[in-house]
Structure 1
Amino acid sequence: LNETSGLRVQTTSPSLGGANVRIQGLRGRYTQLLSDGLPLYGGQSGALSILQIPPMDLAQVEVIKGVASALYGATAQGGVVNLISRRPAAGEENEHRSHEQEVR
């Protein structure tokens, strides 16, 4: 993300994996983070950070800057970062067992 013009990921707490996404130089609280179009991070201390999401789980990242971000509300004054999840490939299946119970 740091290679995108006008966007900077600023580490706030290296030991806890905390970071802010700054768009156009505005503070991180003015950037709305979404995961598949749903709000991910509300700016509260201790909330999920963008650094805690494994990059291999993402198909793409959409960045919306400028006036179009107004469609996403007051928390998106700087812009919007939408993290699009990777979808499992056809036939890809995981099986987990715990205490004789099976989940597919």
Structure 2
Amino acid sequence: MAQQPMAQLPAGASEVQIMGKTYWHSGDNFYQFNENTGMFYEVPQPTVQAHKDRASQAHQSVVAQPGPGVTADQIEGCRNAAADKSNAVPNRGSEVYINEYNSCIRDLQ
């Protein structure tokens, strides 16, 4: 059964960002806005846990260890930048995360 488009979200719907995409959440339902039609559509609940698990496992095994002089804020910045780029390619996300994080750490050292 196809979802019926809606011009307005249910009252109290809140905007959430999941893996770089904007959704609206109300109760147990999630919605996305289609710019082409100008309507909201109900979508399945977005899942990110499998991606987080893969990135976390890969991160633990092959990421560069920051040398002396690299601050916690710089490390966090590298993590965030790598996560943004990996979210853009979920099918290769963990590989992209590792490459981007390691490159960022190397640049800081």
Give TM-score, length-normalised by structure 1.
0.26
Name the structure with the higher helix share.
Answer: 2
Give TM-score, length-normalised by structure 2.
0.25
Name the structure with the higher strand share.
Answer: 1
Larger Rg: 2
